[in-house]
Chain A
Amino acid sequence: MINIKDLHKQFDQLKVLKGINLEVGKGKVVVVIGPSGSGKTTLLRCLNVLEQPTSGLLAIGDQVLDFSQQVTKRQIPPFRRLTGMVFQNYNLFPHMTALENVMEGPVTVKGEPKETAKEKGEMLLRKVGLADKIGFYPFQLSGGQQQRVGIARALAMEPKVMLFDEPTSALDPELVGEVLKVMKDLAAEGMTMMVVTHEMRFAREAADEVIFMDGGIIVERGKPEQIFSSPKEVRTSQFLNLIQ
């Protein structure tokens, strides 16, 4: 489903991604871990071109962006629609209710009729356990509730892949569980997911594969049990020792 070939990203002099190669099969859940500054968030943001890669190739489904050639502004929005993004700080639209947040993409981008979008929005909010918060503005919701609206908003565009950028890092500890539960349900339904997180329990329970990044490259990848119990690389075990 996702195919990344020799992806590089450079900010001025700083090389953040130094040749990433990765394939993610349909319905797979990949968890990306690594120290801060390792490039994991940049990798995720490259996948929906919020950061434009310096060079390399990105493919999602049958759509391909080749950054060794000129990528035009027109190519980017259709490619973005293949992915749904969930942000660390939720980034809900504060001037819209929960339902309006979820309806925005389908109505404005896809041109769906409001009635259809409303039905779908209500369905998605029910799915993330917020059926009773439909008319609430973001400021009236807890962090966990806001993040679940964020997930519903991304799902409303019917993406092929869901990207999660540290979705629970800004949450109070007691609110983390409700967001992880929604993500696990999603994984169980067969959604292809790429998750940058520090939640090792989620990685153990829901990931098909764990990727450890450091210094802009993928240092090690494998099944969660293998990475967590017997990492092959020294850097991986050092990192895991630090956080556990």
Chain B
Amino acid sequence: MYLSSIFASPERVTRLIEIGKNSFQPLLEGAIAYTIPLTLISFICGLALAIFTALARISGNKILQTIARIYVSAIRGTPLLVQLFIIFYGLPTIGVIIDPFPSAIIGFSLNVGAYASEIIRAAILSIPKGQWEAGYSIGMSYSQTLKRIILPQASRVSLPPLSNSFISLVKDTSLASMILVTEMFRRAQEIAATNYEFLLLYTQAAFIYWVICFMLSIVQGRIERRLDRYISS
């Protein structure tokens, strides 16, 4: 009874191919117009936030440390979907109304900021103390040493885990569909709602996510090779 639907008739195959062809373009548009920009903007903002948070954590300032600690704990301790709902559906209650796309950017940036700050903190701490001292010994200030000496080396250490975060973020952007961002997955839902081909549409969306992530891992490999040029193999 249920199995019969698997053995498709020739007409059904034709219909599936037709729908697949027609839906590919809107899905890709969703990826290009929303999924990819959402990922890129959120990751860049999140990374900036992460660097500040990591520096606050390793600074001697107790107040900054505490603020950073609470931020990281709150973001890591609550579900991303709930955070997005608070920003988009919750904040209007107190008069703060933010459009879907910026809401998503804020939510994802805060999320990346918290997780990546731990990666960056660990990477900074992994650089030998002698590197700081060498920077200071030629007259550099804290910020000059950080920018010129420590962060370039820490970036090499943190690249693999940061790439992990980036790839997770690509897929997490599908959650933005829940706050009305018409990104790729929401388009798949909308198209499937008209023709009931859920398996086809969701598989198509999954495939495009996979292709994006696959390309990203190739880029990661290239950057890693570039950053590894000063390390003996």
Residues of B within 8 A of A94 (CB): 153, 230-231
Alpha-carbon distance between A156 and B230 when the two chains are bound, in angstroms: 22
Question: Does B152 sit at the interface, judged by CB under 8 A?
Answer: yes
Question: Does A145 sit at the interface, judged by CB under 8 A?
Answer: no
Residues of A within 8 A of B230 (CB): 94-96, 137-139
Interface residues as binary, A78-93 with B (CB distance below 8 Å gives 1, 0 otherwise): 1011011101010111
Question: Does B73 sit at the interface, judged by CB under 8 A?
Answer: no
Residues of B within 8 A of A138 (CB): 230
- The number of residue pairs between A and B whose CB atoms lie closer than 8 Å in the complex comes to 68
- The reply to whether A93 and B149 form a contact with Cβ atoms under 8 Å apart is yes
Residues of A within 8 A of B140 (CB): 77, 105, 108-109
Number of chain B interface residues as a range: 20 to 34
Contact of B138 among A78, A96, A105, A137 (CB under 8 A): A105
Interface residues as binary, A43-72 with B (CB distance below 8 Å gives 1, 0 otherwise): 000001010000000000000000000000
Interface stretch (choices B36-44, B62-70, B127-135): B127-135
Residues of B within 8 A of A105 (CB): 138-140
Alpha-carbon distance between A80 and B138 when the two chains are bound, in angstroms: 7
- The reply to whether B231 and A104 form a contact with Cβ atoms under 8 Å apart is no
Contact of A153 among B128, B136, B138, B149 (CB under 8 A): B138
Residues of A within 8 A of B137 (CB): 48, 50, 80, 83-85, 87, 154
- The reply to whether A91 and B133 form a contact with Cβ atoms under 8 Å apart is yes
Alpha-carbon distance between A109 and B229 when the two chains are bound, in angstroms: 26
Alpha-carbon distance between A78 and B128 when the two chains are bound, in angstroms: 24
- The reply to whether A157 and B133 form a contact with Cβ atoms under 8 Å apart is no
Residues of B within 8 A of A109 (CB): 138-140, 144
Question: Does B148 sit at the interface, judged by CB under 8 A?
Answer: yes
- The reply to whether B152 and A157 form a contact with Cβ atoms under 8 Å apart is no
Residues of B within 8 A of A156 (CB): 138
Contact of B136 among A80, A89, A92, A96 (CB under 8 A): A80
Shortest beta-carbon distance, B99 to chain A, in Å? 42
Residues of B within 8 A of A78 (CB): 139
- The residue in chain A whose Cβ has the minimal distance to the Cβ of B131 is A91
- The residue in chain B whose Cβ has the minimal distance to the Cβ of A140 is B232
Which parts of B139-182 form the interface with A (CB within 8 Å)?
139-141, 144, 148-149, 152-153, 156
A-B contacts besides A87-B134, A138-B230, A157-B139, 16 pairs, CB < 8 Å: A48-B137, A50-B137, A77-B136, A80-B136, A80-B137, A87-B137, A89-B130, A91-B131, A92-B134, A93-B134, A104-B138, A108-B148, A109-B139, A139-B231, A139-B232, A157-B138
